[in-house]
Structure 1
Amino acid sequence: MISTLIYSSTSCLVGDAFQFDREMEKIRHVAAQRNEEHGITGFLFYFDNRFVQILEGEFEAVTHIYSRIRHDERHKGARIIWFSEIEGRDFSKWSMECSMNFIERNHSELSVKLKFINRFISDTSQQPIMLRDLLVSVALEMQRRQDFPKPQLVPLAANRNTSR
């Protein structure tokens, strides 16, 4: 069984656009490497100075990665929105770098959906399952688009038996 964890946090990244881009590149590079090592797949949203990330993998790997993320000083206020077991992965490839660049390039088109997601994240009275479904559906919709960049990483061997 695969576990999924969704969290949100507020970015603490400071500096000019060049410094910000350089720090985001470090995050993308290290996260892609660690996630591949631990069999983690998922999707990362970054908008309105907020990170929202979906992680999928074995329970121990997901909790280990989230623990590292939670203690990272480049963001604050990390809180779990959703954590459960799922029958199979929604994201068969790690696509963090692709999602961040795509959101940046298509922000005006996605702004209504991102505002809606932001409202759900900010309102703790909302049902977490609704937010999870919304995040997954937006991420999957983005990945289906022809202009969405394809990840450079090879699918994890474990995905052959657990992807949807």
Structure 2
Amino acid sequence: MSDFTHFNEQGRAKMVDIVHKPETARTAVAESSILVKEEIYKKITSGEMEKGDVLAVAQVAGIMAAKKTSDIIPMCHPISLKGIDIRFFWEAEKEQKRLRIQVSVKTKGSTGVEMEALTAASVTALTIYDMCKAIDKGMVIGETYLVKKTGGVSSPDFQKQLDDSL
């Protein structure tokens, strides 16, 4: 079991010890998306959704999710986040629109913020679905993935792997 960092000598789950890792500036960018019908696109962009400003609510939900990641992902360390930014980009796709969600998370610490960025992107998409489901329950949440990470020892190797896979 010594090759697995999340298991102790008894083969039981543990949180990885990061006490000796140096504190560095760390960032992560994650993306997700949601495919919506033209009707939903028009209501969101014109501010006519009955539940209110969809993107504002989703943005706040994503920020809250990033801050609570360690509460819902068992082996994540609680992290003092230094910055969270969520941006939205509309893209045309046949008779529908895709809303691309991009989340950037920053900290200065001993572990990365990939899980916080991924969690925020996922919850942002889920919140948009929740706010628009009365019109169409057939919306499709797209792939959620890590776009970039910086900081820490593995960052250059990881970024090369990521660039090669994209």
Q: TM-score range by the shorter chain?
A: 0.3 to 0.5
Structure with the higher helix share, 1 or 2: 1
Per the normalisation by structure 1, the TM-score is 0.39
